[in-house]
Amino acid sequence: MSLELPRIPISGMTLPEPPSMPDLPVGQTSLGNAVVVGLKEIWAHKFRSALTMLGIVLGVSSLVAMSAMVQGMENGQREAMLAIGGLEKVRMEAQRVPVEQRHLRDMARGMTLADVEALKAGIPEIEIIAPEMRLEVDPTLQANGRFHRTFMTGGILPEKMRIMEHEVEHGRMFNDIDAAEARPVCLIGTGIRDELFGRPEETGTEVIPLGRTMTINGQPFTIIGMFKRYEGEQDRKQRLEREAERQRLLAEGRTPPKAQGPSRGQGRGGSFAFWIKNNTVYMPLNTMWHRFQAGLSNAPPEPRLSNIELKVRDFSRIEQTLSRIRNIMMVNHRGIEDFAFRTFEDWSADIDRFVKNARMSGGLIAGISLFVGGIGIMNIMLASISERIREIGIRKAVGAGGLDIFVQILVESTVIAVVGGLLGLAFSRFVVLGITWVAPTGNDPVITGGAMALAFGFAVGVGLLAGIFPAVKAARMDVIQSLRYD
Amino acid sequence: MPAADIDTAMALLELRNVSKIYHLGGEEIRALDDVSLDLEQGEFVSIIGPSGSGKSTLMHILGCLDSPTRGNVTLAGTEIARASARELARVRNRTIGFVFQFFNLLPKLNVLQNVELPMIYAGIGGRERRERAGKALEMVELGHRLKNRPNQLSGGQQQRVAIARALVNNPKIILADEPTGNLDTHTGELILSLFRRLAAEGRTVILVTHNPEIAAVTPRQIEIRNGRIAHQVDARLAGLDRSGGGDLPPSAP
Ligand SMILES: Nc1ncnc2c1ncn2[C@@H]1O[C@H](COP(=O)(O)OP(=O)(O)O)[C@@H](O)[C@H]1O
Ligand SMILES: [Mg+2]
């Protein structure tokens, strides 16, 4: 309805009762209006508001950054776990006869290919089974005038390639004839190439040492294949960046600086798994047996395996499958426990525990910082309402209800938190960059939408909570006293 | 003389035996002491008395800004003591317009926004608010200063903004507490003529002042001393009316 503003009657008036207002409820200040007033208040006290927001900004950004770091590490660990075959993988390792079975030591045969055959025949749940024979002492490799020791030298059956997810990028895999004749051939990882023939970064070109001779504990072998280079997402990115930089320098006619620092074995989390794969030397199991074991004076009558790795089809039934494997093995070994199981479940549980702990402690720090931020907001809102006692009195005199004032103060404190939260989200990128710069990790932090939403939600909640007390206080102020206040 | 004995018809504002008592330390201050008063629709009244006599206290109670310690206040048939804080806020918003001695404008808002304020709490939409505030400001001849801040205006202009704000929700009652107390004589007269106009339009206008010359403008004058009604003059009853309400019939409608 429209208001009839009083016009000035020239003379003789008989104005009836002024038209009454429509029945609108008081206490219905539009929220948009309150938000605008809140933003203006913040703008009017820029410096003060900025200081107040700092706690929220830090809280939100540290929450997001922390969660990004943990997520990055978790991703790295899971990536590494997948790279070596995932959860479905089970490993049996030869071990010494346990103390209580020492008297049976003579009867222990160790793990043999007969075990592999028995398991293959007896347990259909096994998808892949791959035996490996290693040297008892890490062998010394020599080629190109350089030496290198690696514990990842093994004699294998072709299945090993599948279970370890190896890919031959250069040359070829050994074939049945190589195996049957126990030929001195081997495949190497790029890490071995790096050590013996030089890294591409050092030599300037990628050496592919196919056909070259490498001795293993003095015995000459021909390198017939090289695996692809295994690396995590993060490492690949860094390597490609370095490569691009090098190309750029070359194109400008300058000599790129020699790459410094070893690219191997930081030993940290994920990259370790890739390092192991890159430092592998494989030869046919039969070659290993004939050239390194069979000739020895105390040689066993048949090849002794160092480990058997297998992959089950159905991870959800791994417990049953494991116990069946165990039964067959126990029968084969006449009850002597000269083998042990390893699964990656332990590792997986470790990752989970680590992630949980990191989240908890990071969340606690961020929570404290948000809490402090909340106290800051409450403090500033209390200061603000005592500065605005008169304003509140005026607003009430012209018809603001307690609820209107309550909502206004609450919205103002929430607006501070929302603005602080948004700044915090923006700032979290830089916090992440800062942390990775100060303490580089092998894993790229991953800022997730979930973490951002959670942190922002917390910030808004803190703003709301912090506003309640000042808002109640302002809403309850006495009109007359507020109007008299100077 | 006691308040006009107006029979059965309900007055717009009725005070019955109203007292307001403050306690300061052990001392009891009777700001209002057993005041009974009727104000009719369309009356132009001044409340006069020396400083500290209880005029402002009376005005606050008339305006539902404050509640009496004892006694009853009835506004348009509604008993104020029974009303909730929310209902009182509503009454202040719709039925009453205040004009204060120190203008009480919000310094951070411009003129237009100050006048819009009561409509915000009435839940009126932004477009209508601006339109109505603009009209109200034109009526007090400040249509050209909408974007100014209060501190960019003279005292008289600020008081006119305050009057526009008091009018914008079209209240039945205008309460003014020493509205000219902070203005020079000439400006004060301009403001008074505005009030006279409002009264002539049929609004109930209550003017609080300590100045007998200003009080002389209104047909009815209520004199307060020490919280009590000491004296009342009603020019209409005496046939002496020279105020803007002059065309009113001898008794209230
Ligand atoms: N909040 C209060 N506390 C104590 N005394 C008060 C309060 N408000 C008003 N008074 C007293 O009540 C009396 C009337 O005050 P007031 O109505 O403001 O007078 P006036 O407006 O006529 O100058 C004065 O003596 C004043 O000191
Ligand atoms: Mg006073």
Tell me, what's the pLDDT at A442? 66
Whether residue A283 lies inside any domain: the answer is yes
Pairing label, strands B13-24, B70-75:
antiparallel
Residues with CB under 5 A from ligand 2 (ion): B 56
Question: What is d(CA B14, CA B12) in angstroms, rounded to the nearest whole number?
Answer: 7
B165 contact A CB<8A: yes
Does A323 lie at the interface with B, CB-CB under 8 angstroms?
no
Alpha helical stretches, state H, A173-256: 176-180, 190-197, 200-203, 233-251
> From the CA of A478, which ligand is nearest?
1
The verdict on a CB contact (< 8 Å) between B86 and A4 is no
Residue pointed to by tokens 């490492």: A235
Residues A37 and A186 in one domain: no
Determine the distance separating the centroid of ligand 2 and the alpha carbon of B177, expressed in angstroms: 7
In eight-state DSSP terms, residue A111 is B
Same domain, A152 and A247: yes
Q: Is the CB of residue B230 less than 8 Å from the CB of residue B49?
A: yes
The DSSP code sequence of A33-95 is HHHHHHHHHHHHTHHHHHHHHHHHHHHHHHHHHHHHHHHHHHHHHHHHHHHTT-TTEEEEEE-
Determine the residue type at B187: T
Q: Are B170 and A391 within 8 A, CB to CB?
A: no
The answer to whether A232 and A77 have CB atoms below 8 angstroms apart is no
The ligand 1 atom at the shortest distance from the C-alpha of residue B50 is 22
Identify the closest residue of chain A to B86 by CA–CA distance: A401
Last residue of a domain, which of A264, A285, A312? A312
Distance, in Å, from the CA atom of B228 to the CA atom of B234, rounded to the nearest integer, reads 18
Whether A19 shows a pLDDT value over 60: the answer reads no
Query: Could you give the count of Cα atoms lying within 13 Å of B79 in the half-sphere of its Cβ?
Result: 6
* Residue B142 maps to a domain: yes
Tokens standing for B236? 């209409």
Helix or strand run (H / E) with residue B38 = strand B27-39
CB A18 within 8 A of CB B172: yes
Domain that residue B129 falls in? 42-64+94-234
Distances (CA, A) of A408 to A163, A328, A404, A478, B82: 65, 75, 6, 17, 27
How far is residue B76's CA from residue B14's CA, in Å, rounded to a whole number? 8
Residue with tokens 């006449």: A334
What is the per-residue pLDDT for A270?
53
- Last residue of some domain: A312, A343, A364? A312
Nearest to A94 by CA among A312, A307, A362: A307
Residue A111 in this model has a pLDDT that exceeds 80: yes
Q: Determine, yes or no, domain membership for B199.
A: yes
Locate the ligand 1 atom nearest the alpha carbon of residue B53 and give its number. 22
Residues A57 and A135 occupy one common structural domain: no
Sequence-ordered list of residues with C-beta below 8 angstroms from that of A105, at least 6 positions apart, any chain: A97
Burial bucket for residue A244 (CB in 10 Å: 0-12, 13-18, 19+): exposed
Residues A149 and A274 grouped into a single domain: yes
What gap in Å lies between CA A484 and CA A478, rounded to an integer? Answer: 10
What separation in Å is there between the alpha carbon of B48 and the centre of ligand 1?
15
* Residue B177 alpha carbon, nearest atom of ligand 1: 21
pLDDT over threshold 70, residue A7: no
Q: Is the pLDDT of residue A263 over 70?
A: no
Number of A/B CB contacts below 8 angstroms equals: 127
Cα–ligand 1 centroid distance for B52 (angstroms)? 6
Measure the CA–CA gap between A62 and A194, rounded to whole angstroms.
40
Contacts of B136 in chain A (CB under 8 A): 5
Instruction: Answer whether residue B113 is part of any domain.
Output: yes
Name residues whose C-beta falls within 8 Å of residue A6's C-beta, 6 or more positions apart in sequence.
A15, A18, B139, B167, B197, B198, B201, B203
Instruction: Residue window 100-139, chain B: list those with CB within 8 Å of chain A.
Output: 100, 104-106, 108, 117-118, 120-124, 128, 132, 135-136, 139
**Whether the predicted pLDDT of A3 surpasses 70:** no
Q: Give me the amino acid identity at A335.
A: G
**Ligand 1, atom nearest to A480 Cα:** 1
Contacts A15 to B, Cβ<8 Å: 201-202
Beta carbons of A17 and B41 less than 8 Å apart? yes
- State how many domains chain B has: 1
By C-alpha distance, the chain A residue nearest B201 is: A15
Answer whether residue B150 is part of any domain.
yes
For A162-176, A347-361, A406-420, B212-226, which range has the lowest pLDDT when averaged over its residues? A347-361
pLDDT per position as a tens digit, A50-61: 888 988 998 899
Tell me how far apart the alpha carbons of residues B144 and B153 are, in angstroms, rounded to a whole number.
12
Among residues A335, A299, A350, the alpha carbon closest in space to that of A103 is found at: A335
**Residue appearing with tokens 């490498």:** A214
- pLDDT class of A222 with cuts at 50, 70, 90: very high
Phi–psi pair at A316, nearest 5 degrees: -65, -20
Q: Is residue A477 part of a domain?
A: yes
CA-nearest of A471, A465, A444, A436 to A367 is A465
Q: pLDDT tier at A284 (50, 70, 90 boundaries)?
A: very high
Please state the domain count of chain A: 2
Kindly list the protein residues whose Cβ atom lies closer than 6 A to any atom of ligand 1. Answer: B 22, 24, 29, 31, 49, 51-57
How many CB atoms lie under 10 A from the CB of residue A42?
20
CA distance B172 to B194: 16
Cβ pair A413, A466 in contact under 8 A: yes
Q: Note the ligand closest to the C-alpha atom of B50.
A: 1
Contact B111, B165 (CB under 8 A): no
Give a yes or no: residue B29 inside a domain.
no
Residue whose CA is at the smallest distance from ligand 1 atom 2: B22
Judge whether B9 lies within some domain. Answer: no
Ligand 1 atom nearest to A484, measured from its CA: 1
Asked if residue A296 and residue A155 are part of one domain, the reply reads: yes
Which of A312, A336, A370 finishes a domain? A312
Identify the CATH number of the domain in which residue B127 sits.
3.40.50.300
My answer on whether A169 and A252 are in the same domain is yes
Cα–Cα separations (whole angstroms), residue B190 to B140, B160, B183, B231: 10, 9, 10, 28
Q: What's the pLDDT tens digit per position in A143-177?
A: 989 999 887 889 999 999 988 889 999 999 999 99
Asked if residue A305 and residue A167 are part of one domain, the reply reads yes
Low-confidence spans in chain B with pLDDT less than 50:
1-7, 241-253
What ligand 1 atom has the least distance to the C-alpha of B210?
22
Q: Please indicate if any CB of chain B lies within 8 Å of the CB of A25.
A: yes
Structural tokens at position B172: 């039945």
| Binary contact (A479, B201; C-beta < 8 A) | no
| DSSP assignment string, A317-335 | GHHHHHHHHHHHHHHHTTT
Question: Which among B66, B201, B247 has CB closest to A6?
Answer: B201
**CB-CB neighbors (< 8 A) of A479 in chain B:** 65-66
What residues pair up with B35 in beta bridges, in sequence order?
Answer: B18
Give the ranges where A388-401 is alpha helix by DSSP (H).
389-397
Considering the entire predicted model, what is its pTM? 0.69
3-state secondary structure of A395: helix
Backbone angles phi, psi at A207, to 5 degrees: -80, 130
| Mutation test residue for ligand 1: of B18, B23, B30, B56, the one with most atoms within 8 Å of CB | B56
Enter the ipTM: 0.89
Mean predicted lDDT score pLDDT of chain A = 83
**One domain for residues A252 and A380:** no
Q: Is residue A335 part of a domain?
A: no
Looking at ligand 1, which residue's alpha carbon is closest to its atom 18? B56
Give the domain extent around A395.
Answer: 32-79+352-484
Radius of gyration of chain A (CA): 36
Residue with CA nearest ligand 1 atom 16: B54
Q: Is residue B119 part of a domain?
A: yes
In a domain, A340, yes or no: no
C-alpha B248/C-alpha B250 separation (Å) is: 6
Task: Choose the closest CB to B170 out of A9, A12, A21.
Answer: A21
pLDDT above 90 coverage of chain A, percent: 33
Asked whether the beta carbons of A148 and A244 are under 8 A apart, the reply is no
Measured by CA distance, the residue closest to atom 14 of ligand 1 is B54
A356 and A473 together in one domain: yes
Q: Is A6 on the interface with B (CB under 8 A)?
A: yes
Is A226 a residue whose pLDDT tops 80? Answer: yes
Taking CB atoms and an 8 Å cutoff, what residues of chain B touch A400? 89, 93, 121
Q: Are residues A372 and A479 in the same domain?
A: yes
Picking from A268, A267, A148, A139, the residue whose alpha carbon sits closest to that of residue A199 is A148
Residues A253 and A359 in one domain: no
pLDDT for position A9: 37
Distance CA A251, CA A253 (A): 5
Q: What is the model's pLDDT at position A29?
A: 52
Tokens linked to B163: 């009057």
B209 in Cβ contact with B181 (< 8 Å): yes
Task: Give me Rg for the CA atoms of chain B.
Answer: 18
